[in-house]
Amino acid sequence: MTDKMTVKIPSTIMTAAFTEKDFYVQHFDPKEYLEMYFTFHPEKEEINALIDFILKNLHKAFHSGGIKGDTLIHFGIGSAIYPFLSACESFREIISTDYTDQNLEELQRWLRKEPGAFDWSPIVKYVCELEGDREKWVQKEETVRKAIKRVLQCDLTQPNPLAPLSLPPADCLLSTFLLGVACKDLLTYHFALKNLSFLVKPGGHLVLFALLEESFYMVGQHRFSFLYLNQKSVEEAVKEAGFDIEWVEGTKLNFPSALSDVKRECVLVARKR
């Protein structure tokens, strides 16, 4: 098992300090994160490319690929609703989880339509355009609001990431980048995926988005660590957690060095054995 999890990375990255959860609680601003990484902008091609890859592959997995069921559990960071735009009509119940309370609170503000909540309408319109009808975006937002039944905090490093709750196994787990944030090393990453595997039914799906060859990203003036991964190490961890990979797709990213040192992102769809 040790050989399987050996990843060759630069020594400067290996010694990078891991950002503990307390630092996230104190300094992670969910609104600033969303404005930096999930706002289309004509002069920010790298951000547009990130968003485009994510939304098209969520569409491929849930709308075109036909992944569906009763319950989907999402593990993410940043109080985002984009993971649900293509899945909301394929699942009776969506459970949204996040790393910190402030992210959950920001999501609740959008669910309650509170003034000052992040404006997701450009993202929603883009997904509706992928589905063939850009003008149904208001209906799409309401479908998402109705589908999200619970908003919970999670800890992927615990045997039950949703403790103290004990939920029935879901039909699908969707993970968007949280593993790279919450895991300090590759061993923890493997354990976290095994913890997640207990939350999905045999035959159920895992849809996993990962940022690759990255050690940090910025939110405002604050620097946060990210677990350095390559595609091979992600695939090995998924297989070891009890999943058979159905398809993988990746793309290069070219972020400004002051924002992040990420080089690639990938999406992986797998089925639990």
DSSP assignment string, 17-85: PP--HHHHHHH--HHHHHHHHS---TT-HHHHHHHHHHHHHHIIIIIIS---EEEEEEEESSS--GGGT
Confidence of residue 8 (pLDDT cuts 50, 70, 90): very low
Tokens at residue 264, please?
Answer: 């690639």
Q: For 156, phi and psi rounded to 5 degrees?
A: -70, -15
Largest alpha-carbon pair distance within the chain?
52
Nearest of 60, 5, 83, 78 to residue 269 by alpha carbon: 60
Question: Do the beta carbons of residue 175 and residue 238 sit within 8 Å?
Answer: no
In eight-state DSSP terms, residue 103 is H
Rounded mean pLDDT of 80-109? 96
The percent of residues in the chain predicted with pLDDT above 70, rounded, is 94
Where are the extended beta strands (E) located within 168-241?
Answer: 170-176, 200-212, 216-219, 222-225
**Local structure of 148: helix, strand or coil:** strand
pLDDT score at 150: 97
Q: What is the CA radius of gyration of the chain?
A: 17
Tokens at residue 139, please?
Answer: 């209906």
Q: Which of the pair, 262 or 78, is modelled with greater confidence?
A: 262
**Local structure of 233: helix, strand or coil:** helix
Angle at 212 between CA 36 and CA 30, to 5 degrees: 25
Rounded mean pLDDT of 48-63? 97
Rounded distance between C-alpha atoms, residue 206 and residue 215, angstroms? 24
Rounded mean pLDDT of 117-132? 97
User: pLDDT at residue 224 above 70?
Assistant: yes
Neighbours of 2 (CB within 10 A): 6
Average pLDDT, the chain: 93
pLDDT score at 118: 96
Rounded mean pLDDT of 115-142? 97
Cβ-Cβ contacts under 8 Å for 76 (sequence gap 6 or more): 83, 96, 97, 98, 174, 175, 176, 177, 178
Q: Note the pTM of the prediction, 2 decimals.
A: 0.93
User: pLDDT at residue 199 above 50?
Assistant: yes
pLDDT score at 46: 94
Rounded mean pLDDT of 129-137? 97
**Local structure of 249: helix, strand or coil:** strand
Rounded mean pLDDT of 157-164? 95
- Residue ranges for the binding site? 33, 82, 98, 103
pLDDT score at 11: 39
Q: What b/e sequence results for 146-157 when a residue is b if at least 16 CB atoms lie within 10 Å of its CB, and e otherwise?
A: ebbeebbebbbe
Tokens at residue 265, please?
Answer: 């992102």
Confidence of residue 16 (pLDDT cuts 50, 70, 90): low
- Residue ranges for the binding site for S-adenosyl-L-methionine? 33, 82, 98, 103
Confidence of residue 99 (pLDDT cuts 50, 70, 90): confident
Rounded distance between C-alpha atoms, residue 91 and residue 68, angstroms? 6
Rounded mean pLDDT of 238-263? 97
Confidence of residue 78 (pLDDT cuts 50, 70, 90): confident
pLDDT score at 14: 44
pLDDT score at 244: 98
Amino acid at 56: K
